[in-house]
Amino acid sequence: MRDTLEYFFSFRSPYSYISGPRAFDLAKRYNIELVWRGVRPMAMRGQPLPRSKQFYILRDTAREADRLGMPFGKIHDPLGEGVWRCLTIAELAKAQGRLSEFVLAASRASWAEGIDVNLDAPLRAICEKVGLNWNDCVAAIANAEFRQRVEENTARLSQLGQWGVPTFLFRGEAFWGQDRIQDLEAVLTAAGLAAPNAGTIAK
Amino acid sequence: MSAVTEYLRRAVAPRLVVGLSRKRGLQQLRAAFRRALGLRTNIELFFAFDDPYAAIALPGLIEIAAAHNAKLNLLPLIARGIDGDPAATQRSVHAITDSRRLAQRNGRTLARNTPLAAEDCAFLAAWTIAAAQHPNLNSFVADALAQLWFGSDALPSADTYAAIYQQHIGALPPAVTAEHRASLASNTALLKKLGHWESPAARVAGEWYFAHERLVQIDAHLRALGA
């Protein structure tokens, strides 16, 4: 049976955004099943986020994005319903095998393209570009089961004793931070799981 | 909230923060001006002895400061973090696991498996305040942090660390006083006033970094400033 790698992600987290390409790439380079888990943002689960921390995160993400060669800075904060729309559509995308395409496109839209995902027209363009039917997406946004899944993911993160994103969980060990992927990869390699094109992304 | 206010909050403000952070011209001008006056670049490290990340950060930061002829000022903290943070306990537990991995990157092994309480190390913070002007302060703090996190998992005893203090500072450590406590509280207040909240926070020519995970970036920043 294949090992699972759980990947906790928030559309409101710029660090989640810059982790995305490397995180999904893990499923192409290691014999694992990547289980993406969308969670509610810290600001929507009672975690205090003072202005100094918000500013630090934005400035540090800018430095890290520049280092990684990723676009960043043309921001439209999706906090609130925009986050929920992305989380529920991501569940649909997961079921249809379009998860990485949607997650990467929607998070890039919020953090690098200045797109307001709370508006139908730009969100529809993102969905259709990654191969999702807009009517299915509208139904997904209203899908109570999808929202419940997000609540379960958020509860699981908390049960693990973790709070921030992106967080990865492999064999009971948590790795928090986009800059800890290298430590995670060291563990995956030591576990003998390095294998091109052997992994999958869970539906 | 009006649509304009929403747009300002969600789009304009964060774009401005990021945009301004990428403008380094003023920093470079200030650095050049300081160099012309024969002044060194300042690095301020706000750190807590009960934070394993401080033990990860300091050796590398001392090397970087020396390589760039920058002045490294150590500002110890007792109180740190975000007021009312419900994840504070989880953070301190995770910091141990995470620090163990960061140490392994450099072939080091963390000696502790459980967090230390700030009060257990408060005497070290007070001694750091007492020796603030001593030229060997940074090497004392580096040795004390190394002993604390890489030397043993026992509760820190003043006797053990008094020997380290004496070795670097050349005197017995002083008794902890109310003035030391007041200075430590001032450091926490200064950290917040300057725009940060946690340890180990390095302020490099006015820009903040979490020092344990951004040493490469700090080095690059100093190089970009011509320091």
Low-confidence ranges of chain A (pLDDT < 70): none
Phi, psi of A121 (to 5 degrees): -60, -50
On average, the pLDDT of chain B sits at 95
pLDDT for the residue B226: 84
Confidence of residue B168 (pLDDT cuts 50, 70, 90): very high
Distance separating alpha carbons of residues A178 and A168, to the nearest angstrom: 9
pLDDT digits (tens, 9 = 90+) for B107-130: 999 999 999 999 999 999 999 999
pLDDT for the residue A47: 78
Distance separating alpha carbons of residues B221 and A24, to the nearest angstrom: 30
pLDDT for the residue B196: 97
pLDDT for the residue A70: 98
Residue A83: strand, helix, or coil: helix
Phi, psi of A7 (to 5 degrees): -130, 105
A173 vs B contacts (CB less than 8 Å): 97
- DSSP per-residue letters across B153-216: SSPP-HHHHHHHHHHHHSSPPPPP-HHHHHHHHHHHHHHHHHT--SSSEEEETTEEEEGGG-HH
pLDDT for the residue B65: 97
Active site residue A110: no
The CATH number of the domain covering residues in A3-201? 3.40.30.10
Distance separating alpha carbons of residues B111 and B14, to the nearest angstrom: 41
CB contact under 8 A, A47 and B14: no
pLDDT digits (tens, 9 = 90+) for B55-99: 999 999 999 999 999 999 999 999 999 998 888 999 999 999 999
Q: Does B90 reach chain A within 8 Å, measured CB to CB? A: yes
Residue B17 has its nearest CB partner, among A53, A58, A162, at A58
- In percent, the amount of chain B with pLDDT more than 90 equals 86
Tell me what the mean pLDDT of segment B12-34 comes to: 91
According to the 3-state scheme, what is the secondary structure of B20-76? HHCCCHHHHHHHHHHHHCCCCCEEEEEECCCCHHHHHHHHHHHHHHHHCCCEEEEEE
pLDDT for the residue B14: 97
Instruction: Give the number of A-B residue pairs with CB atoms closer than 8 Å.
Output: 87
A179 vs B contacts (CB less than 8 Å): 213
CB contact under 8 A, A50 and B197: yes
pLDDT for the residue A43: 80
- In percent, the amount of chain B with pLDDT more than 70 equals 100
